[in-house]
């Protein structure tokens, strides 16, 4: 039997749920059929919209959960990112080193800008099975964690963007082709 999973509508900037902190979940809530279905729907929504991460409030749920994942071999990050589900994340920065790179957001389609993020961090939280875990992330995966963690705390990348770099994706692509700056 084939079980279909619904694609969720992505919550757009302006909806107050994106600016409100999310609610942590208990292991019993994580194990519930509703939350397990939510995670499946978030995964197919992220894939449908070609995202690298998605947070609970981006699909209209004020719950402290995010997913991230990216197939290996692409231009965004050649090594890819294993599909990861995190409930109630906690982030501990490891070192003061930062990196500046382009970011966009499924909730703010069409815009991109450069954001400074910490280079290395430890992510702790509960997995899909409701059990605690800790992982170290560096570079692009660390950026994705911080972007999604911001969502769960009521922030979006525009709160951190270098406004001088903000632009429409299509327009930036035209000008970046003729410039060595990046």
Q: Which of 50, 74, 42 is nearest to 151 (CA)?
A: 42
- Pick the catalytic residue: 41, 122, 148, 181? 148
| Active site annotation includes 148 | yes
CA atoms of 113 and 162, how far apart (whole Å)? 7
CB–CB of 24/132 below 8 Å?
Answer: no
User: What is the DSSP-derived secondary structure letter of residue 75?
Assistant: S
Q: Which tokens belong to 45?
A: 């929504």
Q: Which of 113, 105, 67 is nearest to 87 (CA)?
A: 67
Q: Helix, strand, or coil here: 61?
A: coil
Task: Give catalytic residues, as residue numbers.
Answer: 148
């Amino acid at each position: 039997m084939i079980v279909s999973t619904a694609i969720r509508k992505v919550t757009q900037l302006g909806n107050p749920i994106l600016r409100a902190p999310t609610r942590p979940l208990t292991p019993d809530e994580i194990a519930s059929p509703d939350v397990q279905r939510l995670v499946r729907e978030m995964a197919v929504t992220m894939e449908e919209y070609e995202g690298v991460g998605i947070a609970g409030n981006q699909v209209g749920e004020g719950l402290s959960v995010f997913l991230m994942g990216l197939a290996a071999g692409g231009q965004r990050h050649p090594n890819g990112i294993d599909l990861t589900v995190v409930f109630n994340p906690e982030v501990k920065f490891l070192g003061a080193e930062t990196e500046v790179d382009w970011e966009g957001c499924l909730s703010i389609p069409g815009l991109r800008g450069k954001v400074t993020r910490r280079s290395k961090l430890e992510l702790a939280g509960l997995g899909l099975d409701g059990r605690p875990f800790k992982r170290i992330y560096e570079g692009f995966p660390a950026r994705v964690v911080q972007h999604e963690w911001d969502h769960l705390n009521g922030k979006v990348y525009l709160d951190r963007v270098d406004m001088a770099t903000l632009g429409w994706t299509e327009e930036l692509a035209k000008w970046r082709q003729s410039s060595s700056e990046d």
